[in-house]
Structure 1
Amino acid sequence: MTFIKAKDFTADRAWGALDIANMNGVTTRLHWTDKPYKWHINDGEEVFVVLDGEVHMHYRVDGKEHIQLMTVGDIFYAAIGTEHVAHPISEARILVIEKEGSV
């Protein structure tokens, strides 16, 4: 049994992670960041939950870029093939659930 205070988690680099669980090849990780990630397309589905801070989620639909502000408690589901990149506003803590080894 493990209890984690997400608000207290920090990493030594942007997008550093704490591995919480691996359930039959699906990982749950807590990320800390203060910098954008990179545009990517996961090779599986992804659930992205803002636990602390705010994030601008950039995503493309039919080649057109959109931006959605995400605040604490907001959830982004990326289906296979969803091109996206997260841009935190200052520091953010994010829970990511995805296939093991995904980008």
Structure 2
Amino acid sequence: MVFYRAKDFTATRAWGALDIANMNGVTTRLHWTDSPYKWHINDGEEVFVVLDGQVNMHYRSGGEEHVQKMEAGDIFFASIGTEHVAHPVGEARILVIEKEGSV
């Protein structure tokens, strides 16, 4: 049994991660970042949970870019084919659940 205090986690680089679990090929990772990621499409589904801080989630739907502000406790589900990029507002800690090896 292991306990984690997300708000205390930091990494040496943006999007650095702490591997929490791998359950039958599905990973759960805690990320720390203070910089945007990159536009991408996962090769599987993704659950993205803001645990600390704020994130502007940019995504494309119907050929148009949209932005949703996310705060601690907010959850984003990216289905297969959802193009998106996360832009933290300052520092953020994010729990990501996705297929092992996904972008």
Asked if Structure 1 and Structure 2 have the same fold, meaning a TM-score greater than 0.5 normalized by the shorter chain, the answer is: yes
Structure 2 spans left out of the alignment, 5+ residues: none
1:34 corresponds to 2:24? no
CA RMSD of aligned residues (A): 0.3
User: Alpha-carbon deviations, 1:22-54, whole Å to 9, x = none?
Assistant: 000000000000000000000000000000000
Distance 1:63 1:91 in 2: 30
Alignment of 1:2-81 (within 5 A): 2-81=2-81
1:89 corresponds to 2:61? no
Structure 1 spans left out of the alignment, 5+ residues: none
Distance 1:48 1:37 in 2: 13
User: Alpha-carbon deviations, 1:54-91, whole Å to 9, x = none?
Assistant: 00000000210000000000000000000000000000
TM-score by length of 1: 1.00
Kindly, what percent of the aligned residue pairs are identical?
83
TM-score by length of 2: 1.00
Aligned length: 103
